Amino acid sequence: MKIGKITSFDFYSKINEDENEDAFRIFENSNFNLFAMSDGAGGAGIYCKEWANYIVNNQPESPILSDEEAKKWFQKISKSFYEFIKPTVNYDNIFIGERFDSEGSYATLLYVWLSKTTKRFYLSGIGDTTLFYFKKTNDNYSIILIEPISKQVSLEDNPELINWQKALEYPLLSKSVDYENGDTIIICTDSLSRRIVYQLLLINQFETEQCLNENINKTYRRDFLEHLKINQRICKMNEFINYLRNLINMSADSFRAELTKWVERNELEKDDYSFIIIDL
């Protein structure tokens, strides 16, 4: 197994990496390799960056396999985050204190557990932080899974989010997948997720649509696909995955420079960017 990872703050509107509201963590225990990623939704609530960091640093040691387990986990992490962050809240600032008490904090969630004893991985998630699973087929790849963004009404929809102050409002996706050596997993936050979905639609529309829901397939932006074709240089899945492997191995400055090209061609939204590649 080979792992690559990279992250960058929104270099158009933020000053440095301290303002990056994405968070991820890679670690292991005796049974699993664990991967966690979360995107703090800074447009709503407060302390969203801290909530995203808390989520990734408190991934359960083993997969969440039922709704009951999900609710118990969420109640526990919500209570512990509140106890952790409340002493730092500046109640002398009425705006901050009232917002913390009334709105809470919002973030997406994606957890992956990769078994050390079987060729199986488990995932749980809510929102548009997304896992892409590619199966190796001879010298190319097929896209098999795109989750949990495929649960949205449309790709451009506001994502489902979790908030420590509220009950778990959405079902937490729980899934297990058997894999083979040579397969690849990609995990990334929202803007990159959507950009990758559209690239996959260009490369293999049929396979990609099989991974999405009916409403997304009806509503995704055909005009954006036509726009992407203007600078299209990648025609096969393996070429795209190799491109992403090269991207993830760049320095932070080179990574931002490459994404700047996408943004200036109106192919990518301005945002924080994070992704992980796992070659199985």
Widest pairwise Cα distance in the chain: 63
Architecture of the domain made up of 2-12+19-279? 4-Layer Sandwich (3.60)
Residue 39 tokens read as: 């995107």
**How far apart, in Å, are the Cα atoms of 251 and each of 16, 36, 136, 176?**
15, 22, 28, 33
- Given pLDDT bands bounded at 50, 70 and 90, which one contains residue 6? confident
**Cα 270 to chain center, whole Å?**
16
- Given pLDDT bands bounded at 50, 70 and 90, which one contains residue 15? low
Residue 246 identity (one-letter amino acid): N
At residue 228, the pLDDT reads 86
For residue 202, give the H/E element and its range: helix 190-203
Name the one residue in this structure whose structure tokens are 């990872």: 5
pLDDT in tens, 148-169: 999 999 998 889 999 999 988 8
**Cα 53 to chain center, whole Å?**
13
Rounded to 5 degrees, what are φ and ψ at 56? -70, -25
Mean pLDDT of 126-146: 95
Mean pLDDT of 49-70: 94
Torsion sign (Cα): 229, 234, 238, 243 = negative
Mean pLDDT of 80-92: 91
- Quick check: 113 pLDDT over 80? yes
- Structural domain boundaries in the chain: 2-12+19-279
Mean pLDDT of 47-73: 94
pLDDT in tens, 168-222: 888 888 899 999 999 999 999 989 999 999 999 999 999 999 999 999 999 999 9
- Given pLDDT bands bounded at 50, 70 and 90, which one contains residue 49? very high
At residue 56, the pLDDT reads 96
Mean pLDDT of 47-58: 94
